[in-house]
Amino acid sequence: MQVVVDKDVCLGAGNCVRTAPDVFDQDEEGFVELLDDNPPSELDEDLLLARRLCPARAITVNEA
């Protein structure tokens, strides 16, 4: 799956980092940092959960 984040709408809640720490991190200001825009398929469930849990809807996941 291809992952895209919109840092401009991120609220810094951190749900994505707690859900998929191999894919997401937070910068010094607490906003989302994308570590891997094309993570392995083993993380698909975590990515979809992170997208659902994002209060700002800053995460887009596109299936390949």
| Domain of residue 31, residue span | 2-62
pTM over 0.75: yes
Residue 64 has pLDDT above 70, yes or no: no
How confident is the model over 31-48, as pLDDT tens digits? 999 999 999 999 999 999
How confident is the model over 49-62, as pLDDT tens digits? 999 999 999 999 99
How confident is the model over 14-34, as pLDDT tens digits? 999 999 999 999 999 999 999
The two three-digit tokens of residue 42, written as one number: 């083993």
The rounded Cα 56 to chain-centroid distance in angstroms is 11
Domain count, the chain: 1
pLDDT at 57: 97
- C-alpha distances in Å from residue 49, one per residue of 16, 29, 34, 45: 8, 23, 16, 6
The two three-digit tokens of residue 10, written as one number: 């991120």
